[in-house]
Amino acid sequence: MFPPIPNPSVAPDAAKPRFGEKDIVRRSASEVTPPAERLTEVAKLIDVTKCIGCKACQAACLEWNNLTEEIGFNHGVYENPMDLTPNTFTLMRFTEWENPETENLEWLIRKDGCMHCEDPGCLKACPAPGAIVQYSNGIVDFQHANCIGCGYCIKGCPFNIPRISKVDHTAYKCTLCSDRVAVGQGPACQKACPTQAIVFGTKQEMKDWADFRIKDLKSRGFDNAGLYDPQGVGGTHVMYVLHHADTPSIYAGLPDNPTISPIVDAWKGVTKYVGLAVMGFAAAAGFLHYVVAGPNKVSAEDEENAEKLTEGTAPPPPDPAQSQGNTQHGSTP
């Protein structure tokens, strides 16, 4: 058994966060001075082969983060909700897969959620200064006060993870329970996981543990068992052990080779943070939208809002019928 992390302390001094502002290595649409010392990288390892799909992680996430999800419907499958939402940061996805080699049915169950990429596409795509930060331990966190709800983080994310709230129009995703990790705890999902399909520790520990698991899987005939730590995004701070690591996509569409859209990189190349300041933030957002989504999707209204924003006037209240990516609001830089 991977030894459990000790129970949390309720004493005030134990609750002082052990990382924060000074450990930020990246900040969306901003320059940061890199910290003198990098924290040890952390990671969550999700062993899909030990997962029983019980959804304890989903329950623990809702509970710890005080999230209220809507009560939905059954759609003929075990998933619920049917997709990630602003309140569902993590979701079990179920795939009934018949292994062509053995003809055995395999029920592949994957916990979906933010991968905390080393090279985060969301952060790179984000035009709002400080709405997304990355700590030197690898956690990618959203700062809702700075978020403008433009939705570019979704487009920048190779895993399609963030979701925009219709209530406060900002983007939400898994924080890796940064509030828990900051006091020496693991994420709520990890603590709950009944079979320790989710474990948490330093990234190196997690890689070593994964090796141990992969050996066991290979002894049981899963020759392609392996670790999913995709290098296209610089590696991730949420990794999977897969029985069939040669074909990640059979696990409910886990990307085989995730990379950040070249357009996001291009945009960064052209403007950098300085560019944003010069252009004015909303116009920059408009430009990004252009490069990510293509010109045909930038509506006249967007342009108009952008104009107003640069002039310092507030945009009209968002129309719920509008697609999330087209909704602009929030603070100006």
Partner 1 sequence: MNMELSRRTFLKTSGAGIAGTTLGAFGFSEAEAAVAAAVKPFHLVNTTEARNTCTYCSVACGIIIYSKGDLRKGEKADIVHIEGDADHPTNRGTLCPKGAALRDIVKSETRLTQPMVRKSGSDKFEPISWDAALDKIARAMKDDRDANFIAKNKDGVTVNRWTSTGFLAASATTNETAFCTYKVVRSTGMLGFDNQARV
Partner 2 sequence: MTNSWTDIRNTDLVIIMGGNAAEAHPCGFKWVTEAKANRGAKLIVVDPRFNRSASVADYYAPIRQGTDIAFLMGLINWCISNDKVQWAYTKAFTNATFIVKEGFEYQDGLFTGYDESKRDYNRDTWEYEIGPDGYAVVDDTLTHPRCVWNLLKQHVSVYTPEMVERICGTPKEKFLHIAQMIGECSSPTKTMTSMYALGWTQHSKGAQNIRGMAMLQLILGNIGVRGGGMNALRGHSNIQGLTDIGLLSNSLPGYLNLPTDKETDINVYMSTRGFKPLRPNQMSYWQNYRKFFVSFMKSMYGSAATAENNWAYDYLPKLDVPSYDILRMFDLMKQGKINVYFCQGFNPLQAFPNKAKLAEGLSKLKLLVVMDPLQTETARFWEDHGVFNKATPASIQTEVIQLPTTCFAEDEGSLVNSGRWLQWHWPGGSPPGEAKHDTWIMSQIFLRLKALYAKEGGAFPDPILNLSWNYKDPGEPSPEELAKEMNGSALVDVLDPVDPTKKVLEAGKLVSGFGVLRDDGTTAAGCWIYSGSYTEAGNMMARRDNSDPDATGAYLKWAFAWPANRRILYNRASCDLDGKPWDPSRKLIEWDGSKWTGYDVPDIAPTAKPQDVGPFIMNAEGTGRLFARKMMRDGPFPVHYEPFESPVANVIAPKIVGNPVARVFPDDWKQFAKTGTPDFPYAATTYRLTEHFHYWTKNNHVNAVLQPQQFVEISEELAREKGIEKGGWARVWSIRGEILAKAVVTKRIKPMTIDGKTVHVVGIPIHWGFVGAARKGFPANVLTPFVGDANIETPEFKAFLVNIEASTGPVA
The DSSP output letter for 201 is E
In the region spanning residues 242 to 301, those forming contacts with partner 1, defined by CB under 8 A, are none
* β pairing state of 132-135 and 24-27: antiparallel
96 binds partner 1 (CB under 8 A): no
In the region spanning residues 157 to 186, those forming contacts with partner 1, defined by CB under 8 A, are 175, 178-184, 186
Q: How many CA atoms lie within 13 A of 304 on its CB side?
A: 6
- The listed partner (partner 2, partner 1, none) that binds 30, CB under 5 to 8 Å by sort, is none
96 binds partner 2 (CB under 8 A): yes
Task: Please pick, from the candidates 133, 147, 245, 260, the single residue that binds partner 1 as defined by CB under 8 A.
Answer: 133
Report residue 124 CA to chain centroid gap: 13
Q: Which is nearer to partner 1, 9 or 231 (CB)?
A: 9
> With helix as H, strand as E and coil as C, how does 51-88 read?
CCCCCHHHHHHHHHCCCCCCCCCCCCCCCCCCCCCCCC
Q: What six digits make up the tokens of 22?
A: 């000074």
Q: CA angle, 95 as apex, 92 and 99 as ends, to 5°?
A: 140
The DSSP output letter for 232 is G
Sorted by sequence, the CB contacts under 8 Å of residue 173 that are 6+ apart come out as 84, 89, 113, 114, 122, 142, 153, 161, 162, 163
213 binds partner 2 (CB under 8 A): yes
Q: Which is nearer to partner 1, 88 or 178 (CB)?
A: 178
50 binds partner 2 (CB under 8 A): yes
The residue range among 26-34, 74-82, 169-177, 286-294 that interacts with partner 2, by the rule CB under 8 A, is 74-82
Q: Least CB distance from residue 305 to partner 1, whole Å?
A: 29
The residue written with tokens 């003198």 in the block is: 36
Q: Least CB distance from residue 217 to partner 1, whole Å?
A: 14
Task: Please pick, from the candidates 18, 75, 166, 272, the single residue that binds partner 1 as defined by CB under 8 A.
Answer: 18
72 to 90, 106, 155, 254: CA distances (angstroms)? 16, 27, 26, 24
The residues binding partner 1 (CB under 8 A) are 1-8, 10-12, 15-24, 37-42, 54-56, 58-60, 62-64, 133, 135-138, 141, 143, 175, 178-184, 186, 188, 191-196, 201-202, 204-205, 208-209, 211-212
The residues binding partner 2 (CB under 8 A) are 1, 49-56, 58-59, 62-63, 68-78, 80-81, 96, 98, 104-107, 109, 194-197, 213, 216, 219-220
